[in-house]
């Protein structure tokens, strides 16, 4: 099918509409540039441009462009205005662009790669993302495990402030630095602030054992503080004070990483009456110290806790990055930025996206983060999947990756990467695919487990195979073995 002048005019006019909207939106929000760090201004403009671009449904336009052999804008997140202008140039060489691109294809990639290196450090293997490993106090019993992790690809060491204590953290960091210097393998330190602790307490039936059986259809209670109840009643407490005031009848409450789902059927002072809708645990038991999620509720919970503030002096002294849990608003980020500004040395902030509110406000969160020199984003897929629903996880993690690439913000792909391999020594087929998709991020985080070194080796192998085909969301067409080694068998002559 040949392109007619009518086709050219139609496509050109549609791109003009996009360009004019981008220019107007950029002008409307040019005040944002005043507060953003100078090194982040191009990235902010590109993010603004991308927001306008993704307001439109351009699927039909993409098909038309593809049919005529033009760019369909896939993989253009880091330089969207430039791509629009380039397509218009192919259609009409003599036109004046209504938008001035802030970065080209190569410049957008260079900015992101530069930010990635500044955040996670230099790495010897340029073909794959950085790899972050969660440290365990048990490493101190066998410090050579840290040496194995470094030699097998660890670039970033993660310490979770929710566990252990400063004395243990310091020992782990000292061992890391010792082996890092000996091996000449650089490794950054990432420290996760604990954030608000929302965990179960077994107060009524089963309190002596720290667990209680709740079957589907059973009714039980979630309370703020000890209240009068009968011994046979199932009473679940919450470590977060006054939580019931934010919950409404009909809203869902999830327990233990979403394995149990309940609904609020009645509400009274300091008490919620729940009904168990789903219990996916074989034992049907809900135990103490298990996580609670409120996916339908608007919680007014501070992201930076008193305990986090106590940890900050240590984090500032020893960490290159600080993970900020349960970020829901720009105000949450401002609180941490203000606290860190009290110190001469400041670790870079990594925003952990793990609630529907954070997803909804992601562009604003990125802009607030850009007021500092450098930020990162972690897709905290554990709590996020529970909060938004497992069926939406694939869709939402893609959206986060797109917007972060538009802002040239490095992303950490976190939670349950090769988890079954980590726990049992053998991976499932599905998690191998998940590990391959992790190449879309700049860093991949793995949790604690018995087979950490095996996970590192497997992950590197998977990523090396994938890197020949993909960069971020852009697919490369390297030679395929199927094509190179295939020859049609000619029919034998009779």
Give the number of other CB atoms < 10 A from CB of residue 209: 11
Helical segments of 293-413, H only: 306-318, 330-340, 356-360, 362-369, 381-388, 393-406
- The region that residue 147 occupies, defined by phi over 0 for left and psi between -120 and 50 for alpha, beta otherwise, is alpha
pLDDT value for 2: 79
What does the alpha-carbon distance between residue 387 and residue 397 come to, in Å, rounded to a whole number?
13
pLDDT value for 321: 97
Q: What is the pLDDT of residues 451-486, one digit of tens each?
A: 999 999 999 999 988 888 777 777 666 776 766 677
pLDDT value for 76: 93
List, for the chain, all residue ranges whose pLDDT scores fall below the cut of 50: none
Q: What is the DSSP string of 201-267?
A: EE-STTTTTTEEE--TT-EEEEESS-----TTS-EEEESSTTGGGG--TT-EEEETTTTEEEEEEEE
What does the alpha-carbon distance between residue 116 and residue 136 come to, in Å, rounded to a whole number?
25
Sign of CA dihedral 361, 366, 367, 371: positive
Q: What is the pLDDT of residues 150-162, one digit of tens each?
A: 999 999 999 999 9
Q: Is 370 helix (H, G, I), strand (E, B) or coil?
A: coil
Q: Distance of alpha carbon 435 from its chain centroid, rounded?
A: 14
What is the signed CA dihedral for 195, 288, 279, 281, rounded to 10 degrees?
100
Give the per-residue SS3 of 437-458: HHHHCCEEEECCCCCHHHHHHH
pLDDT value for 217: 96
What does the alpha-carbon distance between residue 344 and residue 290 come to, in Å, rounded to a whole number?
38
What does the alpha-carbon distance between residue 175 and residue 324 come to, in Å, rounded to a whole number?
25
Q: What is the pLDDT of residues 408-448, one digit of tens each?
A: 999 999 999 999 999 999 999 999 999 999 999 999 999 98
pTM: 0.92
pLDDT value for 477: 62
Helical pair 362-369 and 330-340, crossing angle rounded to 10 deg:
20
pLDDT value for 483: 67
Q: Which of 431, 423, 432, 429 is closest to 451 using CA atoms?
A: 423
pLDDT value for 482: 65
Helical pair 41-53 and 105-120, crossing angle rounded to 10 deg:
120
Helical pair 306-318 and 166-183, crossing angle rounded to 10 deg:
20
């Amino acid at each position: 099918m040949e392109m007619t002048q009518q086709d050219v005019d139609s496509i050109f006019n549609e791109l003009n509409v996009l360009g004019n909207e981008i220019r107007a939106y950029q002008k409307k929000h040019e005040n944002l540039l005043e507060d953003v760090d100078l090194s982040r201004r191009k990235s902010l403009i590109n993010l603004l441009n991308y927001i306008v671009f993704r307001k439109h449904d351009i699927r039909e336009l993409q098909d038309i462009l593809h049919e005529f052999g033009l760019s369909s804008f896939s993989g253009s997140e880091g330089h969207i205005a430039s791509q629009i202008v380039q397509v218009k140039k192919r259609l009409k060489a003599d036109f004046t662009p209504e938008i001035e691109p802030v970065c080209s294809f190569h410049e957008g990639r260079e900015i992101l790669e530069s930010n990635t290196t500044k955040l996670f450090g230099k790495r010897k293997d340029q073909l794959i993302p950085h790899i972050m490993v969660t440290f365990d106090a048990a490493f101190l019993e066998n410090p050579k495990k840290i040496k194995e992790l470094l030699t097998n690809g660890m670039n970033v060491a993660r310490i979770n402030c929710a566990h252990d204590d400063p004395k243990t953290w310091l020992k782990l960091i000292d061992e890391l630095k010792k082996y890092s210097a000996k091996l000449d393998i650089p490794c950054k330190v990432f420290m996760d602030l604990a954030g608000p602790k929302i965990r179960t307490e077994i107060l009524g039936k089963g309190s002596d054992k720290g667990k209680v059986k709740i079957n589907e259809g059973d009714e039980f209670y979630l309370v703020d503080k000890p209240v009068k109840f009968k011994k046979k009643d199932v009473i679940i407490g919450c470590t977060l004070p006054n939580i019931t005031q934010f919950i409404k009848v009909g809203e869902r409450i999830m327990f233990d990483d979403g394995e149990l789902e309940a609904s609020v059927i009645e509400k009274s002072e300091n008490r919620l009456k729940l009904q168990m809708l789903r219990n996916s645990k074989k034992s049907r038991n809900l135990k103490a110290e298990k996580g609670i999620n409120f996916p339908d509720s608007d919680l007014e919970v501070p992201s930076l806790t008193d305990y986090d503030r106590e940890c900050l002096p240590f984090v500032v002294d020893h960490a290159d990055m600080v993970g900020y849990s349960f970020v829901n608003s720009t105000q949450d980020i401002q609180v941490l930025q203000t606290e860190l500004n009290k110190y001469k040395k400041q670790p870079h902030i990594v925003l952990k996206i793990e609630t529907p509110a954070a997803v909804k406000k992601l562009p604003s969160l990125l802009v607030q983060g850009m007021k500092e020199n450098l930020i990162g984003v972690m897709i905290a897929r554990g709590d996020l999947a529970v909060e938004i629903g497992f069926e939406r996880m694939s869709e939402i993690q893609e959206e986060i990756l797109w917007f972060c690439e538009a802002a040239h913000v490095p992303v950490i792909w976190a939670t349950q990467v090769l988890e079954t391999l980590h726990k049992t020594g053998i991976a499932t087929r599905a998690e191998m695919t998940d590990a391959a998709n992790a190449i879309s991020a700049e860093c991949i985080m793995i949790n604690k487990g018995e087979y950490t070194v095996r996970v590192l080796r497997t992950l590197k192998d998977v990523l090396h195979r994938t890197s020949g085909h993909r960069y971020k969301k852009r697919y490369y067409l390297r030679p395929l073995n199927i094509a190179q080694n295939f020859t049609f068998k000619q029919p034998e002559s009779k």
